[in-house]
Amino acid sequence: MPVEIERKFLVDGDAWRTGVRKRELFRQGYLAGSELCSARVRVAGDLAWIGLKGRVQGASRLEYEYEIPLHEGNEILDRLCAGGRIEKWRHWVPHAGHEWELDEFLGDNLGLIVA
């Protein structure tokens, strides 16, 4: 059973930009959502996948991800997602022996940066 433990931190300032190891554009959209879970499709680079996330219980939640063909991911994103599409740059930044993922949002969430 795949379990995700995730903590998010609001990022202030730009000092982190000097340490970026890699960055990639992510596009995602939601297919469905309920009290129990949400279903989304994501496209990044030449990969696409469907993700199912359970509701948070304590500090964790169930998460399942399944890779799908890129052309299908783009079609699902463009034709089947109901509102709430998100575009963001994901930056990978090594710091203090760990690698942080920083998401820099575009569009309606422009200016939001979360680690």
pLDDT score recorded for residue 2: 77
pLDDT per residue as tens digits for the range 53-106: 998 888 889 999 999 999 999 999 999 998 779 999 999 999 999 999 999 999
Instruction: Supply the range of the domain harboring residue 45.
Output: 7-114
DSSP annotation string for 20-47:
--EEEEEEEEEEEE-SSEEEEEEEETTE
- Is 2 within a domain? no
Q: How far is residue 104's CA from residue 115's CA, in Å, rounded to a whole number?
A: 9
* Residues involved in catalysis: 30
The per-residue pLDDT for 3 is: 72
Say if 66 falls within a structural domain.
Answer: yes
Q: Kindly state whether residue 1 falls inside one of the protein's structural domains.
A: no
Is the pLDDT at 1 greater than 70, yes or no?
Answer: no
pLDDT tens per residue, range 105-115 = 999 999 999 99
Joined tokens for residue 84: 């709430």
**Beta-carbon contacts of residue 66 (< 8 Å; ≥ 6 apart):** 49, 50, 51
Per the structure, how many domains does the chain have?
1
pLDDT digits (tens, 9 = 90+) for 4-45: 778 889 999 999 999 999 999 999 999 988 889 999 999 999
